[in-house]
Amino acid sequence: MKLTFQARSVIEAEGDVLVVGGYAEEMRLSPAVAALDRALKGLLSEVLRSEKFEGKPEQLAYVHTAGRLPAKRVLVVGLGKRKELDSERVRRAAALALRRSRDLGARIVSTALLGEGLSPKLRAQALAEGALLGSYTFDRYKREKNKKAIEELRVVDRERRLDVHVRAGLRLGEIFAAATCFARDLVNEPANQVTPAYLARAATQIAKDGRLELKIYDRAECQKLGMGAYLGVAQGSLEPPKFIHLTYRPPGRARRRIAIVGKGITFDSGGLDLKPADGMLRMKDDMSGAAAVLAIMQALLTLGPPQEVHGIIAATENMPSGSAQRPGDIVRAMNGTTIEIGNTDAEGRLTLADALAYAVKEVRPQEIIDLATLTSAIVVALGNGCSGVMWNDKLLADRVLVAAGAAGERMWPLPLVDEYRELLKSDVADLNNVGPRGGGAITAGLFLKEFAGATPWVHLDIAGTAFSEKDLPLGPKGGTGVGVRTVLSYLMAFSEKDLPLGPKGGTGVGVRTVLSYLMVQTGRR
């Protein structure tokens, strides 16, 4: 889908469909809709009335223009109450309108810049994201393809001076959405395709296209580095493990060094603590964190933030076999910590233990963000619409949470209760890899915390949000690409201004600056 800007009014807009927005609880039509209605001799308002269009989110109505306007149809999409408007409303409205336009067979769609009150750049970005994410499909393996595709989305606005802002927003939205769809593809591909070697090949391609540095460690090299926790998980599988380290270096001197770590279990059978059939069915999605990392790294070259960013993935399968790790085994992670295997199905934290220890030791970043489909406990706690956030550094977590808000991805904090640390005690090793059932997302977070050490770190548990069993406003069932836009927003927001960073165990310095800065961005006053 080509995204363009045209300086002209909605009345002059061409295309198979022209999209405009309608607000809830407003008696009068917005000026744009009113102008269209006049041109259509009242037909539009009549249809809106008879279709009971109230401007609520998820509502839409359209009319054929029968030659009275250059556009073939006018489609009005609900944006909800004006005072509740944010970028997410615009994304969802755009997604809905574009899906409907596609179903109508439209090839060229014009749209007004939806969402008055937000900045033109944000409105354009949200439009692009909504349009591209909402029309995502995964039909590689189907005989019947979704042939219909919109070729061009034209943003129209009378004001020519908006040109640069709109184009910048469209471009940003396009990059964010493309990265998200890239992650979705990786998650939707089955585990017989996406093996650790496949992820390594994907990283190689990204490095080549984007001129990133890449190091892939095989089993023997990981052994030398002392990654006993990661290799313990890998030993049951016939697929060789691949430890992937991609580096993006900005032009000039880097402002900060950030490591993004993704859980990369290409299939989680549970290991010898085998999952029941129901629980195993979806476990190709256990590399969603890794998919997000690859997508983020790929987007960086076009985005060009001023930080040095490291993408780290300890990729492996978790399989049962004669060579698989046993419950009760003891392994030693790269930082020297010994771990008793209480349950082979708690494998994500074992692979992340070495990925985090590696990041701390070899990259020495100022901050680490990890993304992991880590626990079913997070699904119990937060359901499927919200990711869990845990940290050892509140300042960093606050900033990531604000970025999530700007990206429209729901995330919520869980406390890493100090006292729960003892639930991970082992009689024979430094740590056990599992705690009791209650607070499972938190004990998993506490386990990871041991390996982040003193480095500011934030952990996103995306087990509930990485894959959807039902269609969502911004995409069909399947991989969601969650986390990609949050992390990209984070990297971009904090690169446009050099904001104060505050010391570790921070006092909160900078939080208000950053919050105000981002609130201006999301357009809420």
Size of the site for ligand BES (CB under 6 A): 16
Choose the contact partner of 501 out of ligand BES, Zn ion, none; CB within 5 to 8 A by kind: none
Bridge partners (DSSP) listed for residue 108: 152
Contact between 370 and Zn ion (CB under 5 A)?
no
Contact stretch for ligand BES (CB under 6 A) within 10-18, 61-69, 243-251, 375-383: 375-383
Identify what 409 binds: ligand BES, Zn ion, none; CB under 5 to 8 Å per kind. none
CA distances from 186 to 306, 404, 517 (A): 27, 22, 33
Q: Pick the binder of ligand BES from 110, 375, 432, 489 (CB under 6 A).
A: 375
Q: Does 346 bind ligand BES (CB under 6 A)?
A: yes
Where are the strands (E) in 128-285, listed by range? 152-156, 213-217, 242-248, 257-268
CB nearer to Zn ion: pick between 122 and 377: 377
| Contact flag: residue 376 with ligand BES (CB under 6 A) | yes
Give the three-state DSSP class for 503.
coil
Binding mask 326-345 for Zn ion (x = CB under 5 A): -------------------x
Shortest distance (Å) from residue 270 CB to Zn ion: 5
Identity of the residue, 286 or 367, whose beta carbon is nearer to ligand BES in the bound complex: 286
45 scored as a contact of ligand BES (CB under 6 A): no
Whether 157 and 115 have beta carbons less than 8 Å apart is answered as no
- Give the C-alpha separation, 95 to 104, whole Å: 14
Please state the closest distance from residue 390 (CB atom) to ligand BES, in A.
15
Given the DSSP bridges, would you call strands 242-248 and 257-268 parallel, antiparallel or unpaired? unpaired
Instruction: Find where tokens 């977590």 sit.
Output: 397
Pull the structure tokens for residue 9.
Answer: 């009014």
Active site residue 100: no
In 3D space, the residue among 381, 390, 406, 403 whose CA is nearest the CA of residue 487 turns out to be: 403
Selected binder of ligand BES within 440, 476, 479, 523 (CB under 6 A): 440
Distance CA 64, CA 444 (A): 56
The one among 129, 268, 308, 398 contacting ligand BES by CB under 6 A: 268
Helix (H) or strand (E) holding 318: strand 308-318
Tokens 């978790």 — which residue?
A: 318
- For Zn ion, the closer of residues 120 and 439 by Cβ is 439
Integer Cα distance of 134 and 216 in angstroms: 34
The 248-287 contact track toward Zn ion, x by CB under 5 A, reads -----------------x--x-----------------x-
Contact partner at residue 86 from ligand BES, Zn ion, none, CB < 5 to 8 Å by partner kind: none
Catalytic residue among 275, 394, 421, 504: 275
Provide the minimum distance between the beta carbon of 423 and ligand BES in the complex, in angstroms, as a whole number: 11
Least distance in angstroms from the C-beta of 243 to ligand BES: 18
Count of residues in contact with Zn ion, rule CB under 5 A: 6
Considering beta carbons, is residue 268 or 393 the nearer one to ligand BES? 268
| Residues near 379 by beta carbon (within 8 Å), at least 6 away in sequence | 463, 464
Cα Rg for the chain, rounded, in angstroms? 24
CB 474 within 8 A of CB 176: no
Contacts with 124 (C-beta within 8 Å, 6 or more apart), sequence order: 5, 113, 155, 165, 166, 167, 168, 169, 170, 173
Ramachandran assignment for 423, one of left (phi > 0), alpha (psi -120 to 50 degrees), beta (any other) = alpha
Report the residue from 232, 289, 311, 348 that binds Zn ion according to the rule CB under 5 A. Answer: 348
Catalytic residue among 89, 123, 256, 349: 349
In the block, which residue shows the tokens 């059932």?
437
- Interface pick for ligand BES out of 69, 181, 222, 434 (rule CB under 6 A): 434
Residue 123 annotated to the active site? no
Closest CB to Zn ion among residues 204, 343: 343
Among 333, 463, 484, 493, binds ligand BES (CB under 6 A): 463
Q: Which residues contact residue 329 at a Cβ distance below 8 angstroms, ignoring those fewer than 6 apart?
A: 232, 340, 341
Q: Which two tokens stand for residue 230?
A: 């990661």
Cβ proximity of 106 and 17 under 8 Å? yes
Beta strands in 354-506 (DSSP E): 367-372, 387-391, 411-413, 431-432, 457-461, 467-468, 478-479
Q: Which is nearer to Zn ion, 101 or 288 (CB)?
A: 288
Angle between helices 196-210 and 288-303 (to 10 degrees): 0
- Would you say 290 or 346 has its CB closer to ligand BES? 346
> Interface with ligand BES by CB under 6 A: which range of 75-83, 168-176, 199-207, 344-352?
344-352
Nearer to ligand BES, 366 or 384 (CB): 384
- Min separation Cβ 327 and Zn ion, Å: 13
233 binds ligand BES (CB under 6 A): no
Rank residues 55 and 348 by Cβ distance to ligand BES and give the closer one. Answer: 348
Positions touching ligand BES (CB under 6 A) are: 268, 286, 343, 345-348, 373-377, 379, 434, 440, 463
Point out the residues that are catalytic. Answer: 275, 349
